[in-house]
Amino acid sequence: MSVHAHESQRDTTASLIRVTLPDGTTHVVPSGTTAKELLRKYTRQNAHEILAVKVNGQPKDLNTSLTEDVSVEPITFASPEGKEIYRHSSAHIMAQAVKEVFPSALLTIGPPIDEGFYYDFDFERPFTPEDLEKIELRAREIIKANYPIERLEMSKDEAIQFFHDRGERFKAEIIRQIEDPQVSLYRQGDFIDLCRGPHVESTGRIKALKLLSSAGAYWRGDERNPMLQRIYGTSFPSQEELDAYLTKLEEIKRRDHRKVGKELDLFSIQDETGPGLILWHPKGALIRLQIENFWREQHLTQGYELVYSPHVARLELWKTSGHVDYYRDNMFAPMSVESAHYQLKPMNCPFHILVYKSHLRSYRDLPIRYAELGTVYRYERSGVLHGLLRVRGFTQDDAHIFCRPDQIEGEVKAVLTLTMHVLHRFGFTDCELYLSTRPEHAVGSQEKWEQATAALEAALQGGGFAYTIDPGEGVFYGPKIDLKIKDALGRAWQCSTVQVDFNNPERFGLCYIGEDGKEHQPIMIHRALLGSIERFFGILVEHYGGAFPVWLAPVQVQVLPITDKQHAYGQTVVHHLRRAGLRAELDARNEKIGLKIREAEKAKIPFMAVVGEREAQSATVSVRERGGVNKGVMTVSEVVDLVRSCMPSDELASVPQ
């Protein structure tokens, strides 16, 4: 079957069109002019930087013919769309290389992802590091060949037959599920792949490409389907940018919370317990205690009431809440107890609703704010579990606010202010906020959605928060605000969320007696500041690389006797430090002082207090700070003052003076 590109065959002298550029200028050009020709003539943008274009806001190939009045905007690598196009084109180059090095490999999908791309192949064995080297070498040759990348169009039936004839059964399966009668393909050299595009002009536009790793992945993410072989890669417009990214990857590996957690003995995940279930070791538990204590103190200060709820409940509760209908795939199987069915809780909200329902409420009682560090259980497939970041049992820093409609704005503004304060304490000052609006499938009237969305937006604006609209990304029961934090390596993490819910109050028949003496339905606000303690802890570990700030460090001062003769004095120092409210330990091992110091540094302990014969006689210690800084000889009280000076002021309120 022949394959050809369908191009517009118009008499370009017959008509003229008007094209508007981002600077507001309008240009009259012949119909059929390509976007590339237009931009080369009328924009000062460096032609080598332009990867594709937006035509009336829609990403298109540079060779797209312009046949009507349109707006045209160049797309560069600096934009999110540019990175996606660049890396999607890179994925096609990698796929071509795989097919040429391993012709028996079958194509499936190859999307761009954050900071890179991947492609899944049906292949008889896992790819080895040596395989990746061969594939990367061939990919570079394809780039050097600078093949033009051309868009092709076929009818759906033609495309199915085309890929069937090539033995690409996965591609044929994908096309069968496409509703449009026409599909697009892209060709570079002898390689043709199904794709909506757009892509860069030619393979030579990719300047620096690196294959990173390989892994197994099920077709369509379902373990009942064939196991595929996935190759991850990344690409950049220059080798310098690629090298900087690879250096960043090495730092990410060094900070990996699973690696650091093992080195510092913070937590473990063991087969006997089961995947996705965390065992907190003493030092990790101590850090978690500091996080939770701070969380509780802040909530009590802000007028929240603490509640506790059970880990299981009758299945009927989850039917009423809608979880059985909407969330069943993420819930563990029910258990039978005395002829009744019980369910491990996937969320805390139904319990908080029942607490609200336990009394008749007046409009004067609202808002009511319930907060709980509640452990929930969700069924996650084993293939997606990832240390502390993706687990099956985790503790949500959950809270639910029951309020009147006129209180939404004020409550949300207070939540955002509290969120910023809490995140700043943990060292996250770079945040991005997103307002998510009504999705296609939603419950509740348009009027309620508009009222709630307006209240969220007013809270954002009233609090002076910069934000981005995320159209159609609200949850089915109401609009929401999501907050993403950036860690020390510039990675974004979505932790905090504020969600307006009119669905559950209706399902559970919640009400309050209004000023008019009649029953009214309250609004329910779901909110979490940290997301989950487990995931947030993992993010913290990687943010600090295990070198926690003094207020969080499980051991703040390690006392190091030089010889056994100073053990008694060292224990006295530890006793005084602990009485002052500091977390101190004695290294009483019969080891050389150099080894003790190195291991304390490796354990990332903020301060080391070395005691020898001279210090024991003068009732002092020789202090070293994490990182090798010598702080000199101090009395124990001076050490206490030094450690306290490194702690937040409100943290000192709970420390004995």
* pLDDT tens profile 580-599: 999 999 999 999 999 999 99
What pLDDT sits at residue 220?
Answer: 86
Q: What is the DSSP string of 152-168?
A: EEEEHHHHHHHHHHTT-
Contact 467, 423 (CB under 8 A): no
Instruction: Name the band, by pLDDT with cuts 50, 70 and 90, for residue 652.
Output: very low
Instruction: Name the band, by pLDDT with cuts 50, 70 and 90, for residue 171.
Output: very high
Q: Which is catalytic among the residues 131, 398, 487, 501? A: 398
pLDDT exceeds 60 at position 656: no
What pLDDT sits at residue 388?
Answer: 96
Contact 268, 279 (CB under 8 A): yes
Strand 149-155, strand 279-280: pairing: unpaired
What pLDDT sits at residue 1?
Answer: 44
pLDDT, tens digit, 9 for 90 and up, residues 156-165? 999 999 999 9
Amino acid at 350: P
pLDDT exceeds 50 at position 655: no
Tell me, yes or no, if 257 is annotated catalytic. no
pLDDT exceeds 90 at position 415: yes
pLDDT exceeds 60 at position 82: yes
Which residue stretches of 5-128 are H helix?
Answer: 35-42, 80-101
Residue 480: Cβ within 10 Å count: 24
Rg for the chain (alpha carbons), in Å? Answer: 30
pLDDT, tens digit, 9 for 90 and up, residues 327-384? 888 899 999 999 899 999 999 999 999 999 999 999 999 999 999 999 999 999 887 8
**Mean pLDDT to the nearest integer, 554-577:** 96
What pLDDT sits at residue 650?
Answer: 64
**Mean pLDDT to the nearest integer, 418-434:** 94
pLDDT exceeds 50 at position 654: no
**Mean pLDDT to the nearest integer, 555-564:** 97
pLDDT exceeds 70 at position 312: yes
Nearest to 86 by CA among 115, 64, 65: 115
Virtual CA dihedral for 341, 343, 348, 349, nearest 10 degrees? -50
Tell me, yes or no, if 341 is annotated catalytic. no
State which H helix or E strand residue 151 sits in.
Answer: strand 149-155
Q: Which is catalytic among the residues 188, 229, 343, 396? A: 396
pLDDT exceeds 70 at position 230: yes
CA-CA distance, 483 to 431, in Å (whole number)? 7
Q: Which is catalytic among the residues 361, 369, 378, 438? A: 378
**Mean of the per-residue pLDDT values of the chain:** 93
Tell me, yes or no, if 349 is annotated catalytic. yes
pLDDT exceeds 60 at position 493: yes
Amino acid at 527: R
Instruction: Name the band, by pLDDT with cuts 50, 70 and 90, for residue 651.
Output: low
> Which residues are CB-neighbours of 451 under 8 A, at least 6 positions away?
405, 408
State which H helix or E strand residue 595 sits in.
Answer: helix 593-602
CA-CA distance, 374 to 348, in Å (whole number)? 7
Q: Which is catalytic among the residues 92, 171, 352, 526? A: 526
Distance from the Cα of residue 73 to its chain's centroid: 30
CA-CA distance, 93 to 146, in Å (whole number)? 11
**Mean pLDDT to the nearest integer, 416-430:** 95
**Mean pLDDT to the nearest integer, 124-145:** 97
Tell me, yes or no, if 446 is annotated catalytic. no
All structural domains of the chain: 16-76 (3.10.20.30), 81-253 (3.30.980.10), 279-309+348-543 (3.30.930.10), 557-654 (3.40.50.800)
User: What's the token pair of residue 560?
Assistant: 């190091």
Residue 188: Cβ within 10 Å count: 23
Q: Which is catalytic among the residues 87, 92, 151, 349? A: 349
pLDDT, tens digit, 9 for 90 and up, residues 7-65? 333 444 459 999 999 989 999 999 999 999 999 888 887 888 999 999 999 999 999 99
**Mean pLDDT to the nearest integer, 566-573:** 96
For the whole model, what pTM was predicted? 0.85
Q: Which is catalytic among the residues 99, 438, 480, 604? A: 480
Which residues sit opposite 368 in a β-bridge?
Answer: 402
Tell me, yes or no, if 378 is annotated catalytic. yes
What pLDDT sits at residue 657?
Answer: 40
